Amino acid sequence: MKDLALKNIIKIEEKEYLVSTIATPVRHAWFSDDKHKIVFETMVFEIKNDTVMYDKPLFNERYHTADEAIAEHGAIVQNPKAYFIRQS
């Protein structure tokens, strides 16, 4: 699953959000086998005026396995308020 790339745009009330889950290699030169390691990361960004606000993530989590990342991505899409929407 080195090429995992999930992207969903969800709408909550009047706002839109990008939920993104990707596989990313670990690049720490001091660990000999890191060139073979993959971590999976899910991030959520608000979309304003058709622009994804990549510089202001609302949620960020890393996972050891693709299965964990896929499950969490799906859970966020299904119930975003449990993950990154703060009630006033």
Burial class (CB in 10 A: 0-12, 13-18, 19+), 21: buried
Q: Averaged over 11-39, what is the pLDDT? A: 78
Residue bearing tokens 């670990």: 26
Q: Which residue has the higher pLDDT, 38 or 63?
A: 63
Per residue in 31-43, pLDDT tens? 565 555 778 999 9
Percent of the chain at pLDDT exceeding 90: 66
C-alpha 53/C-alpha 45 separation (Å) is: 6
Per-residue confidence (pLDDT) for residue 64, from 0 to 100? 87
